[in-house]
Every structure is written in structure tokens, then in C-alpha cells.
Amino acid sequence: QKEVEQDPGPLSVPEGAIVSLNCTYSNSAFQYFMWYRQYSRKGPELLMYTYSSGNKEDGRFTAQVDKSSKYISLFIRDSQPSDSATYLCAMSGGGGANSKLTFGKGITLSVRP
């Protein structure tokens, strides 16, 4: 079992839909949870960052972490065509110094006008 699993997609939704993107993980030492967004032919950029369990909201985006279930989610409200991109979850924590970021494989989202 890989440390981080992410639904492979792709996912296509109409404009205005609520989108739910999810990742599961197996390493209970993960404490830092991030979502990166990657537009086509660009590098990933940090979208949301959460430490430990709980919710974090930023505009139309909400990140949720449930450490008891080892499950994280990214919700996008009122999705827009400009949200069309690949979304990667990423996690780190534990393992002492030089702990590294572990990425999910990414899911490609397409928002149809």
C-alpha cells in the first residue's frame, strides 16, 4: 500500500458545482497536509496548508483533515472554469530531521462552462 492514495480521476463537473477531492494515507506520523494545484504545462503551486486535524477555509476552498480516519479532503464551492487543473495532495511529518514531502498522484479536474 502506498503511503498516500488519491483518486486517479479525471473528474469533470459543470460550472457552479461543488467539488470534493480526497486523499487517504497510511502513515500516522503525517502532521502537515497540503494541496497543490498544477495548471497544464506549469509547475505545482501551493493552494492550501493545514497542520494536524481540522478545517481551513480560504474563499471558495476548504481543506479538511481527519487524522483518525487518515483522510483529507479539498472542497471547491461554486467551481469555475479557471479551477480546471490537476490537484495534488501532499503530506509530511515524523521521521525526524529532513522529513520529506510525499505527494499523491494527482487528480485532473475539468470545470465545464
State the residues that interact with another protein by CB under 8 A.
6, 8, 29-32, 36, 41-46, 49, 51, 88, 92-101, 103-106
Grid cell at residue 110: 475539468
**Choice between 25 and 106, CB closer to another protein:** 106
Amino acid at 110: S
CB of 97 to another protein, least distance (A): 5
**Choice between 17 and 99, CB closer to another protein:** 99
**Choice between 18 and 29, CB closer to another protein:** 29
**Choice between 17 and 22, CB closer to another protein:** 22
Please check whether residue 55 is in contact with residue 64, taking contact to mean a CB–CB distance below 8 angstroms.
yes
Start-to-end Cα distance in the chain: 37
CB of 49 to another protein, least distance (A): 7
CB of 78 to another protein, least distance (A): 25
Q: In the β-sheet with 54-58, what is the strand arrangement from edge to edge?
A: 4-6, 19-25, 71-76, 61-66, 54-58
Helical ranges in the chain per DSSP H: none
